Structure 1
Amino acid sequence: GRLLQFSRQEHKSPQMLQMNPRGRLPVLRDGEYVCFESLAILYYLDLKYPDPPIFGRNAEEAGTIMRVICEYQTYIEPHVSTITRAVFGGNADLRSEEITRAMHAVASEARTIEGRLSKSDWVVGERFSAVDMVIFPGIQLLKRALERPSAAELASRFMPVEVNYPALGRWLARIEGLPGYERTYPPHWR
């Protein structure tokens, strides 16, 4: 793997655009094969390296993992994007009805995840899986946005995570403790 400098637009270089014409990351090259889009990469890696299975050990586990990923992508991710774009963009009214609605939706869905994590160490089942890998970055991005001073009022519904959603807080800490976690942490977040 190679780290790219977003500030230098390296993800839009001719070499990268040849691998992903959208100029977005992540991109995986495995020999001659190129795969992009996070979920597609996870699925490819699960089939190529099936131990441990990240999409479940049977059809029922796989179905549940995919359902929860779809729920996250449909019901949470768009709201997280609305909030993070507004905070990081710096020129949106964080008290607007749209942002308030997005924060209410995220808080509601966080309670659903909290309920799951109060019964299990992982979002689905007894093992770290693709659903944990999909949800974790979004939660971390949201936390990062809500830690900004400009988002203090908005953050009160969610932050501190460890207080408002203790099981979710323990889950975040569990993932941060996994071997190799440090290598996945975006360098510009340090």
Structure 2
Amino acid sequence: MIKLYGHELSGNVYKIRLLLALLEIEYEFVPIDVFKGEHKTPEYLKLNPFGQIPVLIDGDKVFPDAQAILVYLARQYGTEQWLPTEAESLSRVIRWLSTTAGEIRQGVESARLFHFFKVRTIDIDAATQKSAFILDLINRHLADREWLELEHPTIADIAAFPYIALAPDGQVSLEEYPYIVAWIERIKRLPGFVGMPGIEAVTTA
């Protein structure tokens, strides 16, 4: 059975849990208490020398890095919907994985680390400015489409979703970004969707 190592408050861990749920894949969750430094122990560093979460183990294969894990799961267990093979479509999806690891991390993810986790080494002014930049860009991008790329959800959406949806944890309001808010609600209505602290699943009467 697949094992996923991580912490329940991590957006990067959550995006893996979300894709696993959407793909209906059973797995074992192995909690790693980052507040106690369990991600820096010699045992964990053997799995990921960078000392970061998440790590996914599938059989004898070990995968660190959230974006890389999304690619593996989509290709190994998913369909063309989640990660296309056609060159142009694949390029468009991968672009958003880079954006997630770049501007989204530098913006809303860093703002959340500062305000929610009290990581004071972060330049909060720079993170706030970067948040405004990337949220405005994505909001305009979504003005005439339902998903970040193609005509259906892909791992581009799964990669970008958590920290954007968690932006209020970093004192970044989404009120000015109606197309992003609508996109968040569409993702929440995907069959199999699961939430996390700060991201509630849609309840139906």
Same fold (TM over 0.5): yes
- Secondary structure of the 2:31 match is coil
Does the 8 Å CA contact 1:4/1:10 hold for their aligned counterparts? no
Deviations for 1:58-108, whole angstroms, at most 9, x for unmatched residues?
1111111112322343233212343223213548599xxx43343222112
Aligned amino acid, residue 167 of structure 1: Y
User: Please, which of 152, 156, 161 is the counterpart of residue 136 of structure 1?
Assistant: 161
Q: Which moved more, 1:5-14 or 1:43-52?
A: 5-14
Does the 8 Å CA contact 2:161/2:184 hold for their aligned counterparts? yes
Deviation, structure 1 residue 145: 2.5
Aligned mates of 1:3, 1:93 — CA distance in 2: 28
User: Please, which of 159, 173, 177 is the counterpart of residue 189 of structure 2?
Assistant: 177
Does the 8 Å CA contact 2:81/2:153 hold for their aligned counterparts? no
Does the 8 Å CA contact 2:55/2:64 hold for their aligned counterparts? yes
Aligned mates of 1:8, 1:104 — CA distance in 2: 31
Q: Give the match for residue 95 of structure 2.
A: 67
Q: How does 1:1-190 map to 2 (within 5 A)?
A: 1-6=28-33, 11=39, 16-90=44-118, 92=120, 98-146=123-171, 155=172, 159=173, 161=174, 163-182=175-194, 185=196
- Secondary structure of the 1:118 match is helix
Identify unmatched segments of 5+ residues in structure 2. 1-27, 201-205
Aligned mates of 2:72, 2:100 — CA distance in 1: 20
Aligned mates of 2:146, 2:97 — CA distance in 1: 17
- Secondary structure of the 1:105 match is helix
Aligned amino acid, residue 186 of structure 2: R
Q: Give the match for residue 152 of structure 1.
A: none
Quickly say closer, same or farther: Cα 1:13–1:130, change in 2 above 3 A. Answer: same
Aligned mates of 2:69, 2:77 — CA distance in 1: 12
TM-score normalised to structure 2 length: 0.70
Corresponding residue pairs, total:
172
Query: Which structure carries more strand by proportion?
Result: 2
TM-score normalised to structure 1 length: 0.74
Identify unmatched segments of 5+ residues in structure 1. 147-154
Question: Could you say which structure has the larger radius of gyration?
Answer: 1
Deviations for 1:123-159, whole angstroms, at most 9, x for unmatched residues?
112111111111112213322222xxxxxxxx4xxx2
Task: Work out the percentage of aligned pairs sharing the same amino acid.
Answer: 27
- Secondary structure of the 1:35 match is strand
Does the 8 Å CA contact 1:56/1:62 hold for their aligned counterparts? yes
Quickly say closer, same or farther: Cα 1:5–1:42, change in 2 above 3 A. Answer: closer
Aligned mates of 1:119, 1:57 — CA distance in 2: 24
Does the 8 Å CA contact 2:48/2:64 hold for their aligned counterparts? yes
Deviation, structure 1 residue 25: 1.7
Q: CA RMSD in A?
A: 2.9
Quickly say closer, same or farther: Cα 1:17–1:100, change in 2 above 3 A. Answer: closer
Deviation, structure 1 residue 54: 1.8
